[in-house]
Structure 1
Amino acid sequence: MSDFNKDEYLNDLPDMDDLSGQAAPAAASAADGASADSAAAAAGATQEGAAQPAAAQSQENGDSAAADGADKADAADGKADDTLTPLGQAKKEVAEYLEALQRERAEFINFRNRAQKEQERFRQHGIIDVLTALLPALDDIDRIREHSEMDDSFKAVANKIDKAFEKFGVEKFGEKGEDFDPTKHDAILHKPDPNAEKETVDTVVEAGYRIGDRVIRAARVVVASPQN
Structure 2
Amino acid sequence: MSDSNKDEYLNDLPDMDDLSGQAAPAAASAADGASADSAAAAAGATQEGAAQPAAAQSQENGDSAAADGADKADAADGKADDTLTPLGQAKKEAAEYLEALQRERAEFINFRNRAQKEQERFRQHGIIDVLTALLPALDDIDRIREHSEMDDSFKAVANKIDKAFEKFGVEKFGEKGEDFDPTKHDAILHKPDPNAEKETVDTVVEAGYRIGDRVIRAARVVVASPQN
Distance 1:168 1:10 in 2: 152
The more displaced of 9-18 and 157-166 is 9-18
Change (3 A) 1:158 1:6: farther
Aligned length: 228
CA displacement at 1:183 relative to structure 2? 0.3
Deviates more, 1:32-41 or 1:153-162: 32-41
- Tell whether the 8 Å contact from 1:15 to 1:85 is kept in structure 2 after alignment: no
Deviation at 1:89, TM superposition (A): 1.0
Query: For the structure 1 residues 3 and 144, does the alpha-carbon distance in structure 2 shift closer, same or farther, using more than 3 Å as the test?
Result: farther
* Cα distance between partner residues in 2 of 1:186 and 1:156: 30
- Name whichever of 185-194 and 50-59 sits farther off: 50-59
Q: Quickly say closer, same or farther: Cα 1:83–1:191, change in 2 above 3 A.
A: same
Give the Å deviation of 1:141: 0.3
Greater alpha carbon shift after TM alignment, 176-185 vs 92-101: 92-101
In structure 2, distance between residues paired with 1:168 and 1:67: 67
* Structure-1 separation of matches of 2:12 and 2:45: 48
Matching residue of 2:146 = 146
Q: Which runs of 5+ in 2 are unaligned?
A: none
Q: Deviations over 1:33-80 (max 9, x none)?
A: 999999999999999999999999999999999999999999957541
Secondary structure at the counterpart of residue 22 of structure 1: helix
User: Are positions 1:172 and 2:172 aligned together?
Assistant: yes
The structural deviation recorded for 1:90 is: 1.7
Instruction: Name the TM-score, length of structure 2 as normaliser.
Output: 0.66
Change (3 A) 1:189 1:43: closer
Root-mean-square deviation (CA), in Å? Answer: 32.5
Give the equivalent residue in structure 2 for 1:219.
Answer: 219
Between the aligned partners of 1:4 and 1:151, the Cα distance in structure 2 is 188
Cα pair distance change 1:2/1:169, threshold 3 Å: farther
Contact 1:176 1:201 in 2 (8 A): yes
Taking every aligned residue pair, what percent have the same amino acid on both sides?
99
Instruction: Pick which of 156-165 and 4-13 moved more.
Output: 4-13
Give the whole-Å Cα distance in 2 for the aligned partners of 1:220 and 1:195.
Answer: 22
Deviates most, 112-121 or 68-77: 68-77
* 1:64/1:104 CA distance change after superposition, 3 Å: closer
Q: Which moved more, 1:112-121 or 1:58-67?
A: 58-67
* 4+ long deviations beyond 3 Å: 1-79
Task: Give 1:6 shift.
Answer: 120
Rg larger in structure: 2
1:39 to 1:103, Cα distance in 2 relative to 1, 3 A: farther
